[in-house]
Chain A
Amino acid sequence: MGHLTQMPPLEETQDRTMILNMGPQHPSTHGVLRLILEIDGENIVRLMPDIGYLHTGIEKTCEAKFYQQVVPLTDRIDYLCPLTNNLCYVLAVEKLLGLEIPPKAQWLRVMLNELTRINSHLVWLGTHAMDIGAMTVFLYCFREREDILRLFEAVSGQRMMTSYFRIGGVALEPPLGFLDRVRDFARRFPSKVDEYENLLTGNPIWTMRTKGVAKITAEDAIALGVSGPTLRASGVDFDLRRDIPYSGYENFKFKVPTATEGDVFARYMCRVRELRESIFIVQQAAEGMPEGPIKADAPKVVLPDREKMKTQMEALIYHFKIITEGFAVPEGEVYQAVESPRGEMGYYVVSDGTAKPYRVHMRSACLANMQALPEMCEGKLLADVVAAIGSIDIVLGEIDR
């Protein structure tokens, strides 16, 4: 924080440029992002993001909690995709423990993870379109988002801070009729994506505001650590779900949408096509949901059923021990990455053999993606900054942690 004082002016344009402060409370910065812009008339000479306003020290807090107590903290990193963060963390700890997860839990995780992706992309699409001036899309997107939040509420009891995935499986058996509701949503949703596309894809104002704006090449994107749809829109065909599969993604069929232009419109098209692919994965998961347990067979790690606790002494003892003193995780370190809606979300977890993680580090996709913002905007027009910020889909909670 506090770049402004340290920005040396450029020599040639020194007398012509001015510093413009954008944010931290600016409606198009999606949180509290501050941008310091050096402008020459309408042109941007230099752009510097200033972050840290939402820093809450989650990584430090994790070190003081038991492994299972970290799961709710991961929700709070990114309020648009809590389940993706849950998934990434529990996968990392499960890898440290060497736990085998039953297929039903894996399929539930994939299904909910894709619903989360749709949820996140809908918020992105609505706010991004509103930033550029298309108000209606926002209302349409939040209509479908509400359906997804209701599904989350049905399965986990919470609309946003779900904490549904637990180390060793998922928290609860989904309620009766849940899969029917998911199928019903998956059947209705593709026609809604058509509605959004009717409003935007061929819209001349939309294409003028997005085509050829905030371009980035594949080479620059890789060098800057850009990931996710932003990287794929520049022509790099890489998706962790397909290329380094986790949590049973290898059992699902889906395409990875890419584009070559690397501009705002290409990123928009990639995400909209991803909406369609994600709902296809949700459909596959809901149709082929395997039967069986939802938690791994590891009594020292996974909490026992309430029923067993009331009838079996061992179950009661394990429950007491997990709650009061946690469970020890063998020494080691793991880096687990998942494809979050924004790109590569990675958790680096180090264990020293005790019941609390020695170190939890989150690799934030947004933090890396935001490094591409100066590259996209410098030398371009001031009005396109808003389109560029929207197109990389940042969540400041994840950047600052």
Chain B
Amino acid sequence: MALAPAVTDLEQLKGHPAIARLVSWNPSAVEGAKFDRDEMTIYVERSAIREACGLLRHDPNCRFNYLSDVSCVDWFPSEPRFEVIYQLLSIPKKERVRLKVRLGSDSPAVESVTSVWPGANYFEREVFDLFGVRFVGHPYLRRLLMPEDWEGYPLRKDYPVEGYR
């Protein structure tokens, strides 16, 4: 089975209900999109993520009512360094979509989506704990897995696998 090339042209992907909804709300909120290996990724402008999630959750055409996961990728040393990734699932439509926010290395911060899904709480705390990305508006942004007094963010690429000794 050969891999089909990824589609990255936003014009071609506008038929997707999630992209259509976001573009009709605010065209500048969508920075780009990618359809690769049967999975849709939408790059969302950093300041729009909370409202975008709220729209996709409640819109009757999209109904992405379930937040599966929040994670992060560190692209050190390139810029923008961090990508925060939201995996959305629509339980009624049995579909998935992935939202991405790109953040620069200079004090990375993004709005929290805990007001849309309270379940984002632990996921965002985990990303904060391991990557040092701050979530503005999070009710209790503290380390989740590492000890409270740990220094550094272990999943960043400039953190050695063996740790500092």
Contact = CB atoms under 8 A, between A and B. Distances in A.
Given A1-B147, A55-B146, A358-B73, A335 B154 contact: no
B112 interface: no
Nearest to A335: B87
A201 interface: no
A225 B147 contact: no
A174 B41 CA distance: 39
A192 B87 CA distance: 39
Nearest to A3: B142
Interface residues of B, number: 42
A6 interface: yes
Interface in A30-83: 51-52, 55, 57, 59-61, 63-64
B94 A361 contact: no
B143 A63 contact: no
Interface in A209-226: 222-226
A223 B73 contact: no
B71 A361 contact: yes
Contacts, number: 107
A344 interface: yes
A350 B73 contact: yes
Nearest to A224: B119
Given A1-B143, A371-B118, A225 B67 contact: yes
A170 B130 CA distance: 33
A225 B146 contact: no
Interface in A88-139: 95-96, 98-100
B13 interface: no
Contacts of A6: 142
Nearest to B93: A243
Interface stretch (B1-9, B15-23, B43-51, B101-109): B1-9
Contacts of A226: 119
Interface in B115-140: 117-123, 126, 130
A364 to B, nearest CB: 9
A149 interface: no
A337 B88 CA distance: 12
Contact of A243 (B94, B120, B121): B94
Nearest to A350: B73
A236 B66 CA distance: 12
Nearest to A242: B94
Given A95-B37, A99-B1, A332-B36, A60 B161 contact: yes
Contact of B122 (A222, A350, A359, A368): A368
B145 A55 contact: yes
Interface in A1-34: 1-3, 6
A371 B122 contact: yes
A401 B147 CA distance: 14
Interface string A329-351: 01011110100000010101010
Residue from the set B69, B73, B120, B148 with the largest chain A CB neighbour count within 10 Å: B69
A332 B6 contact: yes
Nearest to B67: A225
Closest 7 CB pairs of A and B: A225-B119, A2-B148, A363-B69, A52-B145, A361-B71, A98-B3, A224-B119
Interface of B: 1-3, 6, 36-37, 39, 41, 65-69, 71, 73-74, 85, 87, 91, 94, 96, 98, 117-123, 126, 130, 142-148, 154-155, 159, 161
